[in-house]
Amino acid sequence: MTLGILGGGQLGWMLGVAARRLGIDCVFLDPAEACTADLVGERIRADYDDPDALAELARRCDVITYEFENVPATAAASLARTVPVRPGWNSLETSQDRLVEKNFLIDHGVPVPPFRAVDDVASLRAAVTEIGTPAILKTRRGGYDGKGQFVLRDPEAASDAIDAIEARPAILEAMIDFDLEASVLVVRGVDGTTKAWTPIRNHHAEGILRRSECPAPGVSPRAGSAMMDHAIRIAEALDHVGVLTVEFFVTGDEVLANELAPRVHNSGHLTIEFSETDQFENHVRAVTGRDLGPTDARHGHGIMLNAIGDSPSPQALAEARVATVDAMGVVAADGNPDDDAVYHGYRKTPRVARKVGHLTITDDAIDPTRSDALASMVPGAVVD
């Protein structure tokens, strides 16, 4: 069995680690010069819409998946002619465009923040009159880590806002004064079986995820079960196969869906240590037609800290008794496998705002002194 993966970043790498553990080979497609996923599989280095590269990938693989949702429609269609692409086109089409996504969510009974479609300064002015300020202008396509967004505080700034997003088709969304953010990951198999992980609480700064925690502190049982029900309903409505992530804004018992990702997700990295079966393994199990593994927790408490812009110092990690994973995602022999903390380095060249690794802490109940000390050595995990 060979699994083709579009995208060779850290998500591709962690998918490859899980696949290799299950005895599945991976072939990646990615145009970059160097990729984290090169550690775990062969790669075709070409653009995602290169017809020869797509033909080669389809020929070499039994099934294709992806680490990002912006797979070009032409690529998905050409692959799908000869090999299953999972999750399928429904999931991609819905999650690639924020307007399509929001309308889909409403049609399936999932509440979302108030929004309006915006195409130019005139439609933005009209939208501001209805939505009010503050509001966020978001491009319909292509955004990630808060890119392609403009916070509109003053209706007079409409024309600046349109310039800031280069006049691309967009939506204007009300700024929600939520209590907290959470995500729910679900996985759905080829046979329609679904499993969900417990909701995860997420802390963002400047549009970038910094820290995730499970069980999610501050999430009421009602809000938690509403989010899990919504996520499972969405996966079923999309006829999704694989992991699906739904991000939510939570205020008391009320939940509003922010966005979908038809894939494994940064907020689910803690499942590697925290859960019986992690998001990567269950995604690979689902897309290759295998039975899904249990999603139950193995620990009382898990926290993940993103390293952004730079890596923590290896010496500081060693002194704090943090284990590190090797190229195959295995806790290195020099680390203590029983340790409560593991650092996953992505072997990427540091760059401003770039995610270069993550550190996961698991325990029955994590001592805040311990998590604060570790957070202080992970660049980007704490924002003043």
List interacting residues with ligand ATP (CB under 6 A): 113, 136, 138, 143-147, 173, 175-176, 181, 204, 207, 247, 258-259
By a kind-dependent CB cut-off of 5 to 8 A, residue 97 interacts, out of Mg ion, ligand ATP, none, with: none
Q: Detail the DSSP E strand segments found in the chain.
A: 2-6, 25-29, 42-44, 63-66, 115-118, 135-139, 149-152, 170-174, 180-188, 194-196, 200-205, 208-214, 242-251, 254-261, 301-308, 323-324, 341-345, 355-363
Distance CA(195)–CA(280), nearest Å, equals 14
User: Closest approach of Cβ 183 to Mg ion, in Å?
Assistant: 9
Distance CA(295)–CA(189), nearest Å, equals 13
User: Closest approach of Cβ 384 to ligand ATP, in Å?
Assistant: 17
- From residue 225 to residue 264, what is the string marking binding to Mg ion with x (rule CB under 5 A)? ----------------------x-----------x-----
Q: Which residues lie across from 139 on neighbouring strands?
A: 170
What is the secondary structure of 12-81 as a DSSP string? HHHHHHHHHHTT-EEEEE--SSS-GGGGTSEEE-S-TT-HHHHHHHHHH-SEEEESSS---HHHHHHHHT
| Number of chain positions touching Mg ion (CB under 5 A) | 2
Residue number with CB closer to ligand ATP (161 or 322): 161
User: Closest approach of Cβ 149 to ligand ATP, in Å?
Assistant: 6
Residue 357 contacts residue 292 (beta carbons within 8 Å) = no
User: Closest approach of Cβ 247 to Mg ion, in Å?
Assistant: 5
Token pair of 80 as six digits:
């799908």
Token pair of 136 as six digits:
């966020």
User: Closest approach of Cβ 259 to Mg ion, in Å?
Assistant: 5
Q: Tell me how long the chain is.
A: 384
Residue number with CB closer to ligand ATP (125 or 204): 204
By a kind-dependent CB cut-off of 5 to 8 A, residue 175 interacts, out of ligand ATP, Mg ion, none, with: ligand ATP
Residue number with CB closer to ligand ATP (144 or 218): 144
Residue number with CB closer to ligand ATP (271 or 306): 306
Residue number with CB closer to ligand ATP (289 or 309): 309
User: Closest approach of Cβ 188 to ligand ATP, in Å?
Assistant: 21
Backbone angles phi, psi at 88, to 5 degrees: -85, -175
Q: Which residue has the tokens 């939505």?
A: 131
Residue number with CB closer to ligand ATP (36 or 288): 36
Distance CA(317)–CA(337), nearest Å, equals 14
Residue number with CB closer to ligand ATP (41 or 357): 357
By a kind-dependent CB cut-off of 5 to 8 A, residue 176 interacts, out of ligand ATP, Mg ion, none, with: ligand ATP
Binding site residues, Mg ion, CB under 5 A: 247, 259
